């Protein structure tokens, strides 16, 4: 029996386009004599489809497309079978009225063969809003070359049932336990599993546990591509019955790869990307797909000469190409000479479009207008915010006029404590590094300027002759430069301390006592907690944040604005 693993990048809601992509996989499967094509979870819809699943016209259209796809595949490829992820309607009066299902297309027809049992409702997932749980595990019996095979099917979360590995506790149902009684020959898991730190390691562990427990090979097929704030890394694989990897598909790239069930030799060369290279790849894909799927060809960035905007510029260049990245420096009277020169030199190294628009005259006009009309003299913080908002307005004007995607350059540390200006530096269509703490921004830039990144830089056609970010940018003290000799540490503790506390609060959900036990001063922790609470209204108005961690400050951060605790 021979499979084609179709690690594809669907566009959410583009049922016709996704069907064409699936049809193309059939062509590849036919040319390599495959018997069965496996596509990811909800492959006809793209994941997550969210409230598009509530549109009855799209559900009905899906069934029409399935009918036609089945006819087209049978007409051209005859005996080929394809597994497709679909939303199955339930014909009763209860809500939700859908299953997250798998359809088998063969012989000019299609039928439902499996339904997702465990529906995640944590982090970004909210599947119980749309789906009901399947009631039993599914086994597909297929006769290939005079031999009968029993294939057990699971969908994404159905595999995540070992609390000692995934850490969220025991689910009420356990599909892997139930499949043990079915005596399957192969376990298949079709997933739309987003990338987060350490996710690759966890996937390997839960999959290895299932393969060993059932004593059968496991085929794991994952979606790739970025949809809004979620980045899907692909990394599909096959394990033998002992949990050892025998096949690995590409990371962060579409891949169609065949596998014969007789091929059981473990992989000899187990090349694994470093954490920094994976983060870089993820963010590049996030920017590339967000721009492409939203109809943007070019990106615009406010380039300050600081490390955040430098990193975003490098990511945008890798994603879209240097000719499609436009940067603008907007110095004020407080901008240092090195920041202006560093911005210009970075643009030269990246070979991106660069302009400078000084804002000192605009700032003076604001000050004069306030004083002359309402006798209002701007205090220090108001003065600083006005500078940021002037820059934000200029960037939005350029983005509107030239149809650029404006990329926000704020990091997670700033977003967490509100060290950012609403309608100023928070402007943009996408927050690229909003889930990277400042310390990790430095780490990623240091990696990017090291020899370890050379192959990566080559693959993205970035300059490899020397530093990309530049030593001046990587080593200068962080500053918003909105006042005389201003430094971030005037308002915040050093980022090495701040980020440790923030991670404890945001990702690890630690309380005051636990943070004190970690060695942090009570007064400092209380100050940071207060800053996080006060900045909540800003985050609710921020652009989508590309998700990298188990807890970003985007759609998976559901803290009310008006709170007291």
Catalytic residues: 41, 116, 156
Q: What are the residues facing 224 on neighbouring strands?
A: 233
Q: State how far the Cα of 192 lies from the Cα of 8, in Å rounded to an integer.
A: 10
- Distance (Å, rounded) from C-alpha 227 to C-alpha 233? 11
Task: Please list the helix, strand and coil fractions of the chain in percent, rounded to the nearest 5, in that order.
Answer: 40, 20, 40
Q: Where are the alpha helices (DSSP H) in 257-306?
A: 275-293
C-alpha gyration radius of the chain? 26
Among 475, 483, 418, 411, residue whose Cα is nearest residue 446: 475
**321, exposed or middle or buried, with CB in 10 Å at 0-12, 13-18, 19+?**
middle
| Sole residue written with tokens 């005079």 | 146
Q: How far is CA 328 from the centre of its chain?
A: 27
* Beta-strand relationship, 430-431 and 405-408: parallel
- What gap in Å lies between CA 136 and CA 474, rounded to an integer? 55
Nearest CA-CA partner of 133 in 166, 161, 162, 101: 101
Whether the Cβ atoms of residue 210 and residue 237 lie closer than 8 Å to each other: no
Q: Which two tokens stand for residue 295?
A: 């109809």
Task: State the helix-helix crossing angle for 360-374 and 380-402, rounded to 10 degrees.
Answer: 120
Task: Report the distance separating Cα 390 and Cα 396, nearest Å.
Answer: 10
Buried residues in 336-367 as b, exposed as e (16+ CB within 10 A): eeebbebbebbbebbebebeeeebeebbeebe
DSSP string, 77-130: HTT-EEEEEEEEE--SS-SS-EEEEEEEEETTEEEEEEE------STT--GGGT
Angle, CA 441 vertex, CA 438 and CA 447 arms, to 5°: 145
**Peptide bond before residue 48 is cis, with ω within 30 degrees of 0:** yes
Distance CA 115, CA 103 (A): 9
- Tell me how far apart the alpha carbons of residues 64 and 57 are, in angstroms, rounded to a whole number: 11
Cα–Cα distance for residue pair 180/136, rounded to 1 Å: 13
Q: What is the largest CA-CA distance in the chain?
A: 91
Identify the helix (H) or strand (E) that includes residue 342.
helix 337-350
Selection from 113, 112, 127 nearest residue 160 by Cα: 127
């Amino acid at each position: 029996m021979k499979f084609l693993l179709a690690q594809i990048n669907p566009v959410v809601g583009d049922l016709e386009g996704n069907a064409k992509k699936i049809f193309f996989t059939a062509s590849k499967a036919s040319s390599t004599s495959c018997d069965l094509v496996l596509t990811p979870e909800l492959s006809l819809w793209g994941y997550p489809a969210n409230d598009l699943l509530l549109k009855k016209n799209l559900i009905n259209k899906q069934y029409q497309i399935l009918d036609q796809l089945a006819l087209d595949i049978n007409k051209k490829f005859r005996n080929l079978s394809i597994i497709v992820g679909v939303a199955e309607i339930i014909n009763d009066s209860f809500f939700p009225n859908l299953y997250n299902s798998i359809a088998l297309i063969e012989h000019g027809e299609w039928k439902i063969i499996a339904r997702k049992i465990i529906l995640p409702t944590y982090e970004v997932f909210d599947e119980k809003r749309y789906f009901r749980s399947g009631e039993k595990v599914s086994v597909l019996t297929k006769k290939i070359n005079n031999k009968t095979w029993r294939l057990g099917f699971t969908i994404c979360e159905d595999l995540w049932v070992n609390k000692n590995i995934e850490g969220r506790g025991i689910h009420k149902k356990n599909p892997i336990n139930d499949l043990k009684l079915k005596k399957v020959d192969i376990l298949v898991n079709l997933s739309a599993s987003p990338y987060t730190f350490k996710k690759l390691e966890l996937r390997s562990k839960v999959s290895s546990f299932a393969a060993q427990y059932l004593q059968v090979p496991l085929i794991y097929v994952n979606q790739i591509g970025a949809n809004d704030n979620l980045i899907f890394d692909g990394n599909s694989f096959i394990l033998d019955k002992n949990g050892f990897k025998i096949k690995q598909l590409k990371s962060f790239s579409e891949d169609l790869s065949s596998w014969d069930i007789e091929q059981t030799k473990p992989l000899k060369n187990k090349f694994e990307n470093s954490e920094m290279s994976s983060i870089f790849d993820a963010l590049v894909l996030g920017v590339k797909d967000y721009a492409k799927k939203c109809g943007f060809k070019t990106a615009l960035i406010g380039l300050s000469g600081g490390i955040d905007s430098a990193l975003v510029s490098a990511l945008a260049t890798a994603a879209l190409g240097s000719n499609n990245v436009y940067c603008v420096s907007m110095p004020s009277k407080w901008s240092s000479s090195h920041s202006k020169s560093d911005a210009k030199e970075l643009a030269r190294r990246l070979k991106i479009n660069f302009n400078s628009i000084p804002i000192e005259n605009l700032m003076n006009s604001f000050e004069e207008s306030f004083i002359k009309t309402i006798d209002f003299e701007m205090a220090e913080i108001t003065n600083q915010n006005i500078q940021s908002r002037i820059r934000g307005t200029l960037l939005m004007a350029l983005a509107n006029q030239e149809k650029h995607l404006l990329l926000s350059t704020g990091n997670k540390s700033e977003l967490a404590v509100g060290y950012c200006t609403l309608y100023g530096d928070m402007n943009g269509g996408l927050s690229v590094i909003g889930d990277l703490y400042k310390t990790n921004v430095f780490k990623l830039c240091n990696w990017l300027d090291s020899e370890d990144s050379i192959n990566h830089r080559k693959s993205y056609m970035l300059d490899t002759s020397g530093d990309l970010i530049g030593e001046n940018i990587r080593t200068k003290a962080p500053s918003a430069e909105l006042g005389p000799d201003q430094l971030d540490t005037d308002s915040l503790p050093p980022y090495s301390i701040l980020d440790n506390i923030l991670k404890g609060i945001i990702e690890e959900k630690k309380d005051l006592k636990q943070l004190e036990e970690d060695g942090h001063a009570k007064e400092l922790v209380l100050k940071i907690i207060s800053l996080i609470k006060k900045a909540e209204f800003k985050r609710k108005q921020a652009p989508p944040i590309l998700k990298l961690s188990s807890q970003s400050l985007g759609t998976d951060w559901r803290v009310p604005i008006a709170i007291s605790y």
